[in-house]
Every structure is written in C-alpha cells, then in structure tokens.
Amino acid sequence: MFFLKKLNKKFLKFLSVALFVLTLVLYPSLLGRVPLVSSLSSEVSIIQALAKPLQGSIAPENAPATIQFDTSQAAFASEGSEAKADKKDPVLDFFKMAMGALAGLVLFIFGVTRLSEGLENLGTERMKNFLSKCTTNRFAGVLTGAVATTLLESSSVTIIMVIAMVSAGVLTFVQSLGVVLGSNIGTAVGAQIISLDIKLYVPLLMFAGLLLLFLGKTDRQKTIGIIILGFGLMFYGLEAIDEAMKPFRTYTPFITWMETLGSNPFLGAVVGAIFTVIIQSSSATVAIVITLASSGIIALPAGIAIMLGAEVGTCADTLLSTIGRGSAALRTGVFHLLFNLVSVTVGIIFAPQLVQLAQAISGGGGVGREVANAQMIFNILGVVLVIGFLPIVVRLLERLVPDSQADLERQRRQQEKQKTSEQVGASA
C-alpha cells in the first residue's frame, strides 16, 4: 500500500511536468504562434518568386509582359479579396480553435486543482481551527469566510469544509451562515487577482514551483512548490484559452451571440451556471470570463451575466456534500443555494445598473477589471442586505428543515463525548 501511494505521488509529479512540457511544445503550433504550414508555404512562394527571373533570362522577350500581367493580376486579386472580406466573415478553423481552447482548459483546471490540493494539504487543520475560533458572531463569520476562501482559492472548498464541521458539531448552523456569506466575497477577491496583468511573470512562477517541487527537502517545501506551480499553470492555461479565442473578436455570429447574452442577462446567467456545473468551479468560470473580457472577446454586459450564473452553478457541489450529513448541514447548503438564487435574481433585474456602476468605479481599467469589480460590488451588496436578517433566516430554515430523530441522537452523543473529554481534562 505504501508503495502504491509513493508511486501515485511520483506519477502525479511526472504528469505535471509532462503536461507543462507538452504544452510548451505543442501549444504554439496549435494556435498558430509557430505556423509550420504557413512557413512552408511562404518558403515555396519565395522560391517561385526567385524562379521567375530565371525563366525570364531564358525567354527575355516575354519577361516584361509576364511581370506586368502578374502584377496587375495580383492587384486585381487583392482588391477582389478585400471586397469579399468586407462582405463575408473570415473563415475560422474551429477545430484548431477548439484544440487550443481545450489544451488551455486542461492546463487551467489542472493548475487550479493542484493549487487547491496544495493549499488544503498545507493548511486544512489550521483553517478548521481558524474557522471554529473566529466565528463568534455573524460579522466575524463573514470576515472569516472571506479570508478562508481567499487563502484556499475556492468558495466550494470553504463551504464543504464548513458543512463537514457543522455535521461534526464543531460549528453550529448559525455560525456557518456568516462563513457562507463571506465565502462569496473571498471568491471576488480571487477574481481581482486574476484581473491583474502578470502574464510576463508566469514562467518565473512555474519555474520556481518546479524547483521547489523537485529540489525541496521537506514535504512542506514540496507542497509550496505544487501551489506555486499550480498558480502559474492556471494563468498559463488562461492565456492559452485567450489566444485560442482571439479569432472570435471579428466573427459576426459570435459577436451577435455575446450581444444577445448582454441584452438578456437571464440567458447569460443560464450559460454561466451550466458551464460552472460542468467544470465544478465558479472561480474558474469567472477567471475565464475576465481573461476573455480583457482581450475584447466578451463585452461587459455578457461577462456580468455569465458571472451571475456562476454564482448559482457553484451551489451544485456544496449541495452534494450535504448528503448524509444531517439536518444542520443540509440547512447550511440550502441557505447557500437560496442566498445565491435570490441575490442573482436581483442582480439580473438590476444588471444594467450594475454595468454602469462597475464602469464608474473602474476608471477605465479595462473590461476584465470591470467584470471583477462588478462581482465584488455584487457580493458585498448581497452580504450587506442579508446579514441583518440572519436571525429571521435561521428560524425559517429550522422550520423548513427540522431536526430528525437521528439528528437528536447525534447531538446527544456529541454532548456526551464533550462532557467525557472535559471530565478527563479536569481530572488530569
């Protein structure tokens, strides 16, 4: 068993390096940065151009007419092609774009997964102690949830951890609500980091992560290396997706679809929710939206609509984590779903005002920054509007999801266990 675990760790390390190397080798040719075919065709055209003077030396009397005919023909062809280009959209290589976007998505999800796993391994127990000690009231719970989600880089991880702690009796249902609210703010903080322009430093991050991963002497150093490598791969994957999607900037059907999502926020929210359920991460969805918006592929209204949908889609995995956890944990999951549904519904209704507010406070920082700011505004306003009504929400949820007999028995066992531990501590 130990051998299998050790082999599994070695395999994961090898897989991370293999993905990194394969991407560096294959990704440029997929996206056209190293256009192998076009370079060969250009070399052939150069050879043909050099061959024309040689043909002219063999038949000099026909050379001027031939050169004049070719020039006029090329001019006519270029004018005709420009006229056609004005009338028709450019022909896109969808397979090439799909392969480039898929390569970027795989790298991005792999990087996010390694980042989350590294952060969990590094500080899960500490984070549990932090959550249990710093949720004395609803406001402290919000701050605690925001900090925990920012550090763990995942609201789902934070909420699933909270649900497990509620099920184990470490946190009460009331204490968990503030943490759930704060996790939404923590997600928006992560989006602010994604909107920063640090693309030039990403290779340094990945190189530093690899060094720590392979040269680190302790498990802690290697875990930090995995975190840094995952962070770098996440940004590199986003850059790959952005590069693959660039042809859509001038593609009329895609532009029309984005305008439809922007003018119909409900449809945009549905798209965002479905995509988030598929990739199991609202942070990933928002990060991709911010990256594409920064390069002008997605407009601000469509980006905000998809972001709102991601807030609902992230509830899927947290609801799954409540299965078999008891009524208190189920109430926490239901609160997360209802809070996000209500806040997103209000956000869809006031989507035009949210667009204007994000533009006003961003100061011309680009569409990506505006999407990140819109998410921050949306989540902070949602917390502010709901936090004062938490006592009422608690009573409603307790009526909606009452304690079962199994829950009462579990609470009795937890109280007896706590009394036993206190008696043992007092006698010692």
Amino acid of residue 194 = I
Note the pLDDT of residue 25. 42
Reply yes or no on whether the pLDDT at 389 is more than 60: yes
Q: What percent of the chain has pLDDT over 70?
A: 70
C-alpha span between 324 and 167 (Å, rounded): 9
Report how far residue 15's alpha carbon sits from residue 21's, in angstroms, rounded to the nearest whole number: 10
Share of the chain above pLDDT 90, in %: 17
Instruction: Residue 114: name the closest of 15, 260, 197 by CA.
Output: 15
Question: Higher confidence at residue 367 or residue 41?
Answer: 367
Phi-psi domain of 34 (left: phi exceeds 0; alpha: psi -120 through 50; beta: other): beta
Can you tell me the distance from the alpha carbon of 277 to that of 315, in angstroms, rounded to the nearest whole number?
Answer: 8
Q: Kindly report, residue by residue over 78-124, the tens digit of the pLDDT.
A: 444 444 444 455 677 788 888 888 888 888 888 877 776 777 676 55
- Average pLDDT, stretch 417-428? 61
Both tokens of 416, joined, read 């007896």
Torsional sign, CA 404, 406, 407, 412: positive
Question: How many degrees, rounded to 5, is the angle at CA 373 between CA 143 and CA 188?
Answer: 40
- Tell me what pLDDT residue 330 has: 87
Per-residue pLDDT averaged across 238-250, rounded?
A: 81
* Count of helix runs (H) and strand runs (E) in the chain: 19, 0
The pLDDT of residue 351 is 92
CA-based R_g, the chain, Å? 28
Q: How far apart are CA 210 and CA 208, in angstroms?
A: 5
Where do we find the tokens 């266990």? 417
Q: List pLDDT tens digits, range 33-60.
A: 433 334 434 444 444 555 454 444 444 4
- The mean predicted confidence, pLDDT, of the chain is 75
pTM higher than 0.85: no
Q: Decide: helix, strand or coil at residue 373.
A: helix
In whole angstroms, give the CA distance from residue 104 to residue 245: 11
- Predicted confidence at residue 72, as pLDDT, reads 39
User: Which bin fits 281, alpha (ψ -120 to 50), beta or left (φ > 0)?
Assistant: beta
| Contact status, residue 382 vs residue 184, Cβ threshold 8 Å | yes
Quick one: pLDDT band at residue 74, thresholds 50, 70, 90? very low
pLDDT band at 141 (very low <50, low <70, confident <90, very high): confident
134 versus 166: the higher-pLDDT residue is 166
- Residue 43's pLDDT is 44
Using one digit for the tens of pLDDT, what is the confidence trace for 253-295?
Answer: 888 888 888 889 999 999 999 988 887 778 888 888 998 888 8
Closest to 245 measured CA to CA, from 38, 372, 26, 92: 92
Q: Say whether pLDDT at 360 is over 70.
A: yes
* The predicted structure's pLDDT at residue 403: 75
Question: Cα 402 vs. chain centroid, distance in angstroms?
Answer: 36
Token digits for 107?
Answer: 């790298």
